[in-house]
Amino acid sequence: MQKEVSSYYDYTLPFYRFFWYKNRESSAIHYGLWKKGTKSFEEALMNTNRFLAKIANIKKEDIVLDAGCGVGGSSIWLAENLAAEVTGISISNKQIDEARKLAKKNSLIKFFVMDFLRTKFPDSSFDVVWAIESACHAENKKDFLKEAYRLLRRTGRLVIADGFLRRAPKLDDAKDFLSQFCNGFAVPNLALAKDFEKMMREVGFKNIKVLDKTGEFMPSSQRILKIARFAYPISILTEKLHLTSPILTKHILAGIAQYKVFGGNLGGYFVFYGEK
Ligand X SMILES: C[S@@+](CC[C@H](N)C(=O)[O-])C[C@H]1O[C@@H](n2cnc3c(N)ncnc32)[C@H](O)[C@@H]1O
Element (H, E) at 89: strand 85-90
Question: Which residues are CB-neighbours of 219 under 8 A, at least 6 positions away?
Answer: 34, 44
Q: State in angstroms the smallest separation of the CB of 55 from ligand X.
A: 15
**Nearest-approach distance from CB 77 to ligand X, in angstroms:** 10
117 lies in the site for ligand X, by CB under 6 A: yes
Pick one of 34, 41, 77, 116: the residue that binds ligand X (CB under 6 A). Answer: 116
Residue 120's Cβ-count burial label (10 Å; 0-12, 13-18, 19+) is exposed
Q: Residue 219 — φ and ψ, nearest 5°? A: -55, -35
Query: What is the rounded distance in angstroms from the CA atom of residue 144 to the CA atom of residue 128?
Result: 14
Burial of 113: CB neighbours in 10 Å, binned 0-12, 13-18, 19+: middle
Per-residue contact string for residues 136-165; x = within reach of ligand X by CB under 6 A:
-x----------------------------
Q: Does 251 bind ligand X (CB under 6 A)?
A: no
Using CB under 6 A, pick the residue from 68, 255, 267, 268 that binds ligand X: 68
**Which positions ≥6 away from 120 have C-beta within 8 Å?**
114
Burial annotation 192-201 (CB, 10 A radius, 16+ → b, else e): bbeebbebbe
Residue 26 sits in the site that holds ligand X (CB under 6 A): no
Size of the site for ligand X (CB under 6 A): 23
One residue of 12, 26, 90, 244 binding ligand X per CB under 6 A:
90
**Is 254 a residue that touches ligand X (CB under 6 A)?**
no
Candidate list 13, 28, 53, 160; residue touching ligand X; CB under 6 A: 28
2 binds ligand X (CB under 6 A): yes
Cα distance between residue 3 and residue 37, in whole Å = 40
Q: Which stretch binds ligand X (CB under 6 A): 65-73, 176-184, 243-251, 256-264?
A: 65-73
Q: Which CB sits closer to ligand X, 40 or 173?
A: 40
23-26: long-range contacts, CB 8 A cutoff, minimum separation 24:
24/76, 24/102, 24/104, 26/73
Nearer to ligand X, 142 or 236 (CB): 142
Judged by CB, which is closer to ligand X: 88, or 156?
A: 88
Could you say which of 12, 92, 220, 244 contacts ligand X (CB under 6 A)?
Answer: 92
115 near ligand X, rule: CB under 6 A: yes
Q: For residue 184, give the amino acid letter.
A: G
Q: How far is the CB of 250 from ligand X (least distance, A)?
A: 15
Question: Environment class of residue 3 by beta-carbon count within 10 Å: exposed (0-12), middle (13-18) or buried (19+)?
Answer: exposed
Burial 129-144 (b: 16+ CB within 10 A, else e): bbbbbbbbbbeebbbb
Q: Which is nearer to ligand X, 20 or 205 (CB)?
A: 20
Q: Rule CB under 6 A: which residues touch ligand X? A: 2, 5, 9, 28-30, 68-70, 73-74, 89-92, 95, 115-117, 132-134, 137
